[in-house]
Amino acid sequence: MKIGLAQIQSKKGDVAHNIAHHLDYVERAIQAEVDFIVFPELSITGYEPALAKQLATTIEDKLFDPFQEISVASNIAIGIGMPTLGINGIHISILLFQPQQERLVYSKKLLHADELPFFTSGTRQPSLTIKGTNVALGICYETLQRAHFIEAKENGADVYVASVAKPDRGSAKAYVHFPSIAKEFQTPVLMCNAVGFCDDFLCNGQSAVWKEDGELIGELSDAAEGLLVYDTGTQKVISL
């Protein structure tokens, strides 16, 4: 299968613009025969904790109908970042759209201390199997926690995808942690980061793919938008 990492810049709180921008990248992914495209953390709103309460909604919101429609029409799975309303508060979530399947939500389980005033932890990790490949998802801070990766492996993960919003210091940690854990558990690790300002920091891109032996086999720049496509069968990466 092919997994696309959409390294984009979102406009702060501008949901309509960001949805249109996402759909442009989904179209690019379709042209590249991608099976599953992933976007950065909170990509629909931008990583803006202070705006989460006013912007949060549910996956059933009609705003997201175009993603379900294009998923069905073009046989592509899509993962977008959005704050969602939960029973106990607001979650940092990935909304998942798949052909002929119900919409799913993965909500960040392990929160950074800075996120606790704005968000609550998720508890459920949906199963995501695409073309026989078990795809595990993680969101930013939790992807650097060993326990999160171990749980993913215990659940049968064949590949681990991190949706993040990281500045320089965060990416530096990721570029040490991800190849190490990929090699230890013989599991490819993919990171999709944003570019541009989020909240009070600058995301520095460098979305990347590490093979199961920890080798870095593809990455994007630290400032420009782009699409990185990884083929799990050939273990080749192309950037678009």
For residue 123, name the pLDDT band (cuts at 50, 70, 90).
confident
The angle that helices 168-185 and 146-154 make with each other, rounded to 10 degrees, is: 40
Q: How far apart are CA 12 and CA 68, in angstroms?
A: 24
For residue 125, name the pLDDT band (cuts at 50, 70, 90).
confident
Mean pLDDT along residues 208-222: 97
At 75 the pLDDT is: 97
DSSP label of 147:
H
CA distances from 215 to 12, 148, 184, 227, 229 (A): 34, 21, 12, 20, 16
Mean pLDDT along residues 209-215: 97
pLDDT per position as a tens digit, 162-206: 999 999 999 999 999 999 999 999 999 999 999 999 888 999 999
| Superfamily in which the 2-239 domain is placed by CATH | Carbon-nitrogen hydrolase (3.60.110.10)
Neighbouring residues of 35: CB distance < 8 A, sequence distance ≥ 6: 1, 2, 3, 75, 76, 77, 130, 131
Mean pLDDT along residues 44-68: 96
Amino acid (1-letter code) at residue 1: M
Domain limits of the chain?
2-239
Q: Is the pTM of this model over 0.85?
A: yes
Percent of the chain at pLDDT above 70?
A: 100
At 32 the pLDDT is: 97
At 124 the pLDDT is: 73
Give the chain's mean pLDDT: 95
